[in-house]
Amino acid sequence: VLILLNMLLAIIMDNYMKVKQKISDPSLAPSLMKQIQEMVRRRQQYKAGKRVRLNDIYATFLARHDGNEKAMLRSSMGITPTFLLNTVPNIETNQATRTLTNAKEDHRKANEKDFELSDLRAESQDDDGVEQISTLQRLDDATRRVRDALLY
């Protein structure tokens, strides 16, 4: 019973450490002060007419789809900074470019799997069903060949 309890505790601690590591990454969890500064900067830019709120951009796209949010979200239409400049009133070039760049990066982070040691060990199959040697195994084989060539 104690061994099973110890194993359960180890699993919980491992997952806790993974979550804690992700949260401690400054790019994933900016400090409260940074968030406040960003909000103040955005508000000042909006008041000066140098910025369009994301809600206004969203409303523009929603209007293009006659208020049908599901149709808007399913749309496969490509969006470029030029398209934003022509479609969204009062948006500036630097905001259009920055908005699309940030959206692309957020999408990449959300959909890209973190690299783990198990990825090196994993063996896969090619299209013909032939088993492929893992990356770690290939590296180990190459290292062994070089070592053997040097020593013998």
pLDDT single digits (tens) 13-68:
888 888 777 766 666 666 778 889 999 999 999 999 889 999 999 999 999 999 99
Residue 115 is inside which H or E element, if any? none
Q: Are 105 and 112 in contact (CB under 8 A)?
A: no
| Contact by Cβ (8 Å): 50, 42 | no
Question: Which amino acid would we find at residue 107?
Answer: H
**Average pLDDT of the residues in 86-100:** 92
| Cα-trace Rg, the chain | 25
Q: Using one digit for the tens of pLDDT, what is the confidence trace for 98-128? A: 999 999 988 888 888 776 666 666 666 667 7
Residue 4 predicted with pLDDT over 90: no
Cα separation of 9 and 132, whole Å?
35
Longest dimension (CA), the chain: 76
Judged by phi (left if over 0) then psi (alpha if -120 to 50, else beta), residue 113 lies in beta
Alpha carbon 102 to chain centroid distance?
A: 10
Query: What is the per-residue pLDDT for 88?
Result: 93
pLDDT value at position 144?
Answer: 84
pTM: 0.54
* Band (83; pLDDT cuts 50, 70, 90): very high
Looking at residue 111, what is its pLDDT?
A: 84
Contacts of 131 (CB under 8 A, 6+ apart): 123, 124, 125
Question: What's residue 43's pLDDT?
Answer: 93
Residues 124, 40: Cα–Cα separation, whole Å: 50
The answer on pLDDT for 130 being more than 80 is no
